[in-house]
Amino acid sequence: MTRIFYFLIICLIISCGRNGTNSGNKIITVSIAPFKYFVEEIAGNDFTVNIMVPAGADPHTYEPFPDQIIKLRKSVAYISNGYLGFEMNWLGRFYETNQTMKRLSLGDKIDLLATQPDHPGGHIEGADPHYWVSPKCALVIANSVRGLLFELNPSQRQKYESNYQLLISKIQEVDNKARKSFSDVPIKCFMIYHPNLAYVARDYGLEEIAVEFEGKEPTPSRMRELIDRARKDNLKTIFVQMEYDTKNAKAIAGEIGAEIVLIDPLSENWQKSTSDIIDALHKSLLNSLK
Ligand SMILES: [Zn+2]
């Protein structure tokens, strides 16, 4: 609380001193790095994108840096997820800091999945926030971002529309790959530490088995269940998101002879990280057949 107040004072001083200079691009602030991808694919370099929680940052202990607050104050729009826990703590303050920026909550147009009330990663109860990892949801995100960019910069509408069409075909490529990869494998389940692939599972007919349980590390009896399940379905992989501790995942992996595979759903390069996740999932399903 006091820290943010201190930031705001600093920001005020800095922004007064800098008025008129370095006017450059307009700024759009986004909650997480993957949203930057959608803005830049459609708008090119027309905006500078300010990411609040960059890849690798822990949303539990998240605090904005002064530089992020300076950019937030100058932003013309804010793109939020709508269901990430850090937004519950900070979004109100961000909106107070800059009352004129447009607000886009990408979760509004998504067909959401319910989540457990005390889901980890500091998520707001009610909905699973990880929708951006599914190509099907990415199509909806692209559409929402296009709408915002039209509003912010109507004179570039044509350019944005044709970039949007290109983006859609890129996302559809990933979607096609997912459908092909997952339709021809008889085993459909995979194990993951933090359950961030629930939308991918829903949209492509897979089953996500989470090591984390109700946002907490698994109890010994839950660990035993997971190990039994992994043995039963011959699971050879446990997926772990880069930002998370792998201790329990390693314990299960050691027990069943599985490998830990890191995935990066918070990457700035949505297309690459999602494509990599689909390849890794496909490989894990194939390994279960051996
Ligand atoms: Zn999460």
Cβ within 8 Å of residue 135, ≥6 positions away: 171, 172, 174, 175, 178, 203, 274
* C-alpha of residue 41 to centroid of ligand 1, in Å: 24
Enumerate the domain spans of the chain: 2-174, 183-287
* pLDDT score recorded for residue 7: 55
pLDDT below 50 — which residues of the chain? 1, 13, 16-22, 117-119, 122, 124
* C-alpha of residue 159 to centroid of ligand 1, in Å: 34
What are φ and ψ of residue 176, in 5° steps? -60, -45
The token pair that represents 187 in the structure block: 């085993």
DSSP string across 49-76: EEEEE-TT--TTS----HHHHHHHHTEE
Superfamily of domain 183-287: Nitrogenase molybdenum iron protein domain (3.40.50.1980)
* pLDDT score recorded for residue 36: 98
Chain Cα centroid distance, residue 153: 26
* C-alpha of residue 275 to centroid of ligand 1, in Å: 19
Q: Using CA atoms, how far apart are residues 217 and 241, in angstroms rounded to an integer? A: 15
* C-alpha of residue 56 to centroid of ligand 1, in Å: 12
* C-alpha of residue 150 to centroid of ligand 1, in Å: 30
pTM, entire model: 0.89
Cβ within 8 Å of residue 175, ≥6 positions away: 135, 136, 139
* pLDDT score recorded for residue 135: 98
Under CATH, which number does the domain 2-174 receive?
Answer: 3.40.50.1980
The token pair that represents 34 in the structure block: 């993957």
pLDDT, tens only, 84-99: 888 988 999 999 999 9
Dihedral sign computed on CA atoms, order 273, 192, 143, 96: negative
* C-alpha of residue 136 to centroid of ligand 1, in Å: 18
* pLDDT score recorded for residue 4: 58
* C-alpha of residue 12 to centroid of ligand 1, in Å: 33
Residue 54 contacts residue 36 (beta carbons within 8 Å):
no
* C-alpha of residue 52 to centroid of ligand 1, in Å: 15
Please state whether 82 falls in left (phi above 0), alpha (psi between -120 and 50) or beta.
Answer: left
**Residue with token string 């998101």:** 241
DSSP string across 218-246: PPHHHHHHHHHHHHHTT--EEEEETTS--
Say yes or no: do domains 2-174 and 183-287 share a fold: yes
The token pair that represents 24 in the structure block: 């450059």
Dihedral sign computed on CA atoms, order 68, 24, 103, 167: negative
Q: Using CA atoms, how far apart are residues 95 and 90, in angstroms rounded to an integer? A: 9
Neighbours of 150 (CB within 10 A): 15
* C-alpha of residue 141 to centroid of ligand 1, in Å: 18
Cβ within 8 Å of residue 109, ≥6 positions away: 140, 143, 144
* C-alpha of residue 194 to centroid of ligand 1, in Å: 7
* C-alpha of residue 22 to centroid of ligand 1, in Å: 36
* C-alpha of residue 155 to centroid of ligand 1, in Å: 37
